[in-house]
A and B are shown apart, each in its own frame.
Chain A
Amino acid sequence: MTVLLNVKDLRAYYGQVQALHGLTFSLNEGSLTTLLGANGAGKTTTLRAICNMVRSTGGIEFDGKPLNNRSTESIVRYGIAHVPQGRGTFTTMTVEENLQLGAITRKDNAGIVSDIERMYAHFPVLKQRHTQQAGTLSGGEQQMLAVARALMLRPRLMLLDEPSFGLAPLVVRDLFGILGKINREDKVSILVVEQNAQLALELADQAYVIETGRIVMSGNAKDIANNEEIRKSYLGY
């Protein structure tokens, strides 16, 4: 199995405050890996550091190429799609425009048109609302839209920041089902950050647990889910 994303000794800073203290982890091509941890552990910061949205030091390699010091907008061109916390919806634009924006770096117009149709097949509710202002969608629908927007890039790696946040449990089930399907069928590698550890571990194959900016546990998602001690001390269920 080839390593797609390799993060070595990652340290990130917000002003003078250090948020990550030397994080090392990797993600295999085709895998669905989850990053777990409590509030403030550094999960979001890790994703933001990968896309160079916070100041960081250390090595980040994607498919063998270093990503350090590349601007956020150029990292997208490697095929990394980032669904940020809070979904990052373009609320004043229509659903369809949101999807087009996901593919703004692509030049193949025919492919974009057919991909929009593919997204509507994945997420029928988006088709019903394609001319509607995206801000009028419900939280779950906006999360679907955010995932669809990211997929419009035809990414090799998708970074998802707390996709379950603020959603009803049934909607979360739905969404995670779709993520699994995308991972298996479209061969998109996924790195998902979650507070809902139980659900994320059911879905993922690999898992890392972060505490205060360091990896404290890593391994097969099933093993971690089955280890009662880890569950009780780090994941809280």
Chain B
Amino acid sequence: MELFTNQVLAGIATGAIYACMALAVVMIYQAIDHLNFAQGEMAMFSTFISWQLMQWGLSYWVAFLITLVLSFVAGIAIERILFKPLAKAPVLTNVAGFIALFAIINSSAGLIWDFTIKQYPTPFGSAPFLGSQLISTHQAGMIGVTVLLLLGLYFFFQYTRIGLAMRAAASVPESARLVGINTSWMIALGWGMATAIGSIAGMLIAPVVFLEPNMMGGVLIYGFAAAVLGGLTSPFGAVVGGFLVGIFENLAGTYIPGVGNELKLPIALALIISVLVVKPAGLFGRHIVKRV
């Protein structure tokens, strides 16, 4: 029983990271109807930046905040420079754009910081959390930061004018423009926020997976699995999906014989395919209520 609780809690901790990645993916998907394959690499690059800042002597939280701001600005810049011109282009052109972005960021990180694995610090420490053997303080910190982030985002989208405008721009762009919302900037803002959220995920997971240019590969696939499971049209679903996938991953690794660390990734992919076959809209995907 203790093994089970332990695995579930560890699953919630990594699930928090998947939830962040899934949320970032869903935010961009809602804004431009495309999956951002480079989301993980963007998060990785942000994490490297925070690492570099710490190497230069800044404290963890200062580096964390500066990275958040830089990521936000970089996300807006990427949208303005690369994807705004592609807004009316066919799907494949956009896919090519995302793959290019992926390759460029990945190689730049390798070029600047090389491909050796680096230690990444945790501000929470790695002692047992509150003296319990079930979960470490870093895992508790991952969950805590994610929950705070989600509450903040909920408040932002539900109770601020700009959050309302962003939701409107994503749901009915034409009507949004007719009430005076600059939908193009709302998309850019979505990119900025998604990039900042991704950077949080990267910085939180880096002490676990270690820092290197390919660190987010697996995490992003789990993020996609989470987004698909929860429903690509539902930010709430993406978050729930993230936690579910995290728990599922750990339990499957523990209890299904033969599924060790090597087979965890195929499980995520199997999950994506199963959801797409059985319930393509995902658990919380939008079914629009409409009366004519």
Contacts and interface: CB of A to CB of B under 8 A. Distances in A.
Interface of A: 51, 53, 71-74, 76-77, 81-82, 84, 88-93, 97, 100-102, 104-105, 133, 135-139, 149, 153, 166
B161 A104 contact: yes
Contact of A139 (B172, B179, B286, B291): B291
Contact of B182 (A53, A73, A97): A73
Contact of A101 (B168, B174, B183, B292): B168
Contact of B179 (A76, A133, A166): A76
Contacts of A149: 179
A225 B172 CA distance: 38
Interface in B157-213: 161, 164-165, 167-168, 171-172, 174-183
Contacts of B182: 71, 73
B178 A51 contact: yes
Interface in B252-292: 286, 288-292
Nearest to B172: A90
Given A76-B178, A91-B172, A101 B288 contact: no
A90 B180 contact: no
| Most chain B CB neighbours (cut-off 10 Å) among A77, A81, A90, A137 | A90
A72 B178 contact: yes
Given A92-B288, A104-B165, A84 B179 contact: no
Interface residues of B, number: 23
Given A84-B174, A137-B291, 10 more contacts: A72-B178, A73-B182, A76-B180, A81-B178, A84-B175, A90-B168, A92-B288, A101-B168, A136-B291, A166-B292
| Most chain A CB neighbours (cut-off 10 Å) among B167, B174, B177, B292 | B177
B287 to A, nearest CB: 10
Contact of B175 (A90, A136, A166): A90
A91 B289 CA distance: 8
B134 to A, nearest CB: 39
Contacts of B176: 90, 101
Nearest to A137: B291
17 contacts: A72-B178, A73-B177, A73-B180, A76-B178, A76-B179, A77-B180, A84-B175, A88-B172, A88-B175, A90-B171, A91-B290, A92-B288, A93-B168, A93-B171, A104-B164, A104-B180, A136-B289
Given A93-B168, A136-B291, A104 B181 contact: yes
Contacts of B181: 73, 101, 104
A101 B289 contact: no
A40 B172 CA distance: 24
Contacts of A137: 291
Contact of B178 (A88, A97, A139): A88
A53 B156 CA distance: 30
A136 B171 CA distance: 16
Contacts of A51: 178
Contacts of B172: 88-91
A51 B164 CA distance: 23
A100 to B, nearest CB: 6
Contacts of A82: 178
A136 B175 CA distance: 18
